Structure 1
């Protein structure tokens, strides 16, 4: 269910290394990734709603940006507890409007998304930076753990398009999900020179699913570092961060 709301504040200070401020145009996320911390960290936890079904659209976000921006000097991150390009962005275009305002005020911004919709805004991204999240090369894994997110192949095609359009783009392989590490690393190496990997942090959210699917080894620290080693062989140790 989609709820349109007016919020009181939209720009928030953050400790995320890439930016001083964070903007979340939405509460909740229709991608519904089973492992996502935003289910219980951030405003969604106070809604008593179902993750992947209920979503709040901050319809006055752009108006607030214009009011708050003069007092916010620094870089911006979109977004920390939602995907700024999830499905409803196609209709509401909050992220697009926010980027327009940031650019008009000469602010730097970094976008992180799983969505193919990001390529819609290529005209606004040329002076910004984009990180595309690609967590696996297996579509069967994606369908279970990231049920509402775009297919793996679609994300790879989006990565290619952004690169060809001259956008500063990077890849976040996080959390590392069951995959063929060599295959994914080779595919990503066609478009980016370095990658960032992160382990799955909240095992309790997916323990039962991993057990049912026979993926338990992917919950171990050993499997994560095995994956890192494969990526290091293909990208070089200096080009893999984790």
Structure 2
């Protein structure tokens, strides 16, 4: 895979990688063709696994390389890391506050963001789309970073990040399509809306790669920014959603640790 991607420019690499992550979102949404519902314990475990992957990716694939790059570029590493990391979190907080969305399992009147009369299905899709913005951005920035020629950015590390993001996208696709199907929506439409939540990733990935290629000096900030945005999503949404049922908390915690371990292995082995 590494040799195949190396024949393309970083923007094309980012596009191909995020098309893969979108495809895994569609695969998760495709569960709706096999069953009308997914066991709650299994779904919570998958969301916990996704949280673990994102936590590990935030450090191993984004924050740590960003700190190394800042040092190599003569910046103050800890200051760059804090500015970028907190900037990512604040950006997601602003987006969360403004973009209308509804988390699975909540009543329509519990939607967040600016109040609208949009349909419940649209609000559910936007909730997962909100997750996918920083994920696509992270993959794009990782591939764009490789073009800078710094030792801390490798094509293997970028591929590991894309694989990890893909793995955790599977339950996110199902988290949209399955509730819609349970509420009586047709199978085809439930699948379409579920996979649509991942469409933003190729867009964010290409924009992220283009941005860091054109503005090399902000590369460390961009990596830390993506890390902060992903951690915000994990703490504000994925972990609470996965632990709503007290009886599932221990299993979900183990699943979260398993997700972290898988992403750590991918990054260390490939990066």
- Using the size of structure 1 for normalisation, the TM-score is 0.31
Higher helix proportion, which one? Answer: 2
Structure with greater contact order relative to length (CA < 8 Å, sep ≥ 6): 2
Higher strand proportion, which one? Answer: 1
- Using the size of structure 2 for normalisation, the TM-score is 0.29
